[in-house]
Amino acid sequence: MKPHEKWEVLPHGSLERLADNLYTVVGKLRMPLGTTPRRMTIVKLADGRLVIYSAIALDDEQLARVEALGPPAFLIVPSGIHRLDVKPWKDRFPQLTVVAPAGARERIGEVVAIDATATAVVFGDPRVQVEAVLGTEAGELAMIVETTTGKTLVVNDLIFNLPAMKGLGGLGMRVLGFGPGHPTIPKLVKRKLVKDEAAMRAQLERWAELGLERILVSHGEVIENPRETLHELAA
């Protein structure tokens, strides 16, 4: 989809609190084969500022709830594809530090000025880490957030966990390798994003041993069995 020039609200749900410093909002995108969920993740840093990962333009009520948590300070654009609401967020909150993967600087830079990459960003909170995903030639960013109950891995397009779909839409999604109904690295995503399969396998296996509580994906449901899922995807 073409990146939005102004604040354009598409269908989305309510702000959900997952942990003391971790929140999420799930929206919907209309795609050729049906409606696809998209997720924004919000982290509250120790000093009260907010990290916005994969931004979604929100209605006034939900945006007010986000602003009540603290001032938005960092805008993480996790890949060159997730640019839809980047410019409107930066226009609305000029103080945002825009963080992008080094491998997608050119594409993201077409719509917004980039302030830092994963290797240069400093949150000032050891509980929050952003890293370029191994095997993608720094084309995608992941985030690891430590909460009072455990660690959460936040990934973008690398892993999908779409709900089961019926009819021709579901058949088409299965043919394209998007599941649906279970976590997967879709064939199309793998072809475009994964440049080094051995490095990607090592990345998945390293994540699996972090003792994760959950995985948040940009497209689909929360993965509640992260260790098992990551080992299966690595295999």
Q: Provide the sign of the torsion angle of the four alpha carbons 205, 128, 143, 28, taken in this order.
A: positive
Question: How high is the pLDDT of residue 30?
Answer: 82
Does residue 175 surpass a pLDDT of 60?
Answer: no
For the chain, give the mean pLDDT: 92
Give residue 220's identity as a one-letter amino acid code.
G
Q: What pLDDT digit, counting tens, does each position of 3-33 carry?
A: 999 999 999 999 999 999 999 999 998 865 5
CA–CA gap between residue 36 and residue 34 (Å, rounded): 6
- Angstrom distances, CA of residue 112 to CA of 11, 39, 174, 183, 206: 24, 20, 34, 31, 32
Q: State phi, psi for 226 to the nearest 5 degrees.
A: -60, -40
CA–CA gap between residue 75 and residue 117 (Å, rounded): 11
Q: Which one of 3.40.640.10, 3.30.465.10, 3.90.1570.10, 3.60.15.10 gives the CATH number of domain 16-234?
A: 3.60.15.10
The predicted model scores a pTM of 0.92
Q: Work out the percent of the chain whose per-residue pLDDT is above 70.
A: 90
What's the token pair of residue 216? Answer: 């948040």
Instruction: Choose the weakest-confidence range: 15-24, 170-179, 194-203.
Output: 170-179
Residue ranges per domain, the chain? 16-234
Question: How high is the pLDDT of residue 36?
Answer: 85
* Number of DSSP helices (H) and strands (E) in the chain, helices first: 7, 10
Q: At what angle do helices 197-208 and 226-234 cross, to 10 degrees?
A: 160
Q: What pLDDT digit, counting tens, does each position of 205-223 carry?
A: 999 999 999 999 999 999 9
Q: Residue length, the chain? A: 235
Residues 197 and 204 sit within 8 Å (Cβ to Cβ): no
**93-97, 162-166, 180-184 — which one is most confidently predicted on average?**
93-97
Q: Which is nearest to 72 in space by CA: 108, 132, 23, 106?
A: 23
